[in-house]
Amino acid sequence: MPSKTALASLSALGAGTAATGGVLGHRYFSKDSLLSKLQRQLKDSSHRKILTSKDDPIWNSWKEFYGAETKAPISGINKENLSQWCEDSLAGKDESKLTLVSKWCVVNTRSVKEELQANSITFLEEESSGWEGAWETYNKDKASLEIEDAAFKGTNATQKQQGGSALKKWCETYLSKKMYEFFEGGKSYEKVAKWCSKSAG
């Protein structure tokens, strides 16, 4: 028969194991989903939207940014199943995915104009005389960020007055686009910031 001392030791060991298991169990089961983590991180960023559903219509455009990447950022995931990956990953607790989830499952809902304003970039006003100068700047430096829009290129502008008017119309159109909308090969914001700002004019 075990001695009282041995029984006491076994009892203490059992209690300690149970306590440890309880703590570990609590930590595991209370571990936040990635969605909960992101919601806390973005609580002060009302313009950031987490795409929790694969059926969100935003995916129709947002997935094209992913598809434009030279190499798929997420192994085994293409643009067509990205929405399902996000839905599943957000519901899960795999913290190794958090960086990718933050990048590809969250969108900026500001318009391009609002994003420019948030970044203190001043754009040319509608009646500004700087449009002709902006077109000359574009025509000289366009190799780096050439506008692909068919309507703009179709003007075949050669004079600054004609070119300034065409650039103004293009800027007005793209300033109203949302940041998650895919245009200009995914570089619409960079192009608007470069060609529609006062620095261009």
Q: Which residues contact 22 (CB under 8 A, 6 or more apart)?
A: none
Residue 26 shares a structural domain with residue 41: no
Residue 73 shares a structural domain with residue 13: no
Residue 102 shares a structural domain with residue 116: no
Q: What is the pLDDT of residues 109-124, one digit of tens each?
A: 999 999 999 999 988 8
pLDDT at position 75 is 97
Q: If you count them, how many residues does the chain have? A: 201
pLDDT (mean) for 25-45: 78
Residue 101 shares a structural domain with residue 124: no
Using the 3D structure, point to which of 108, 139, 169 is the last residue of a domain: 108
Instruction: Say which residue, 17 or 81, is predicted with more confidence.
Output: 81
128 confidence band (pLDDT: 50, 70, 90): low
Closest CA to 82 of 95, 98, 94, 65: 65
Q: Is residue 61 part of a domain?
A: yes
Helices (H), 30-146: 34-41, 59-67, 82-91, 98-104, 112-118, 131-141
The count of domains in the chain is: 3
Instruction: Say which residue, 100 or 12, is predicted with more confidence.
Output: 100
Q: Specify the pTM.
A: 0.78
Contact between 51 and 11 (Cβ < 8 Å)? no
Q: Is residue 201 part of a domain?
A: no
Residue 92 shares a structural domain with residue 120: no
Range of the domain at 156: 112-195
pLDDT at position 13 is 43
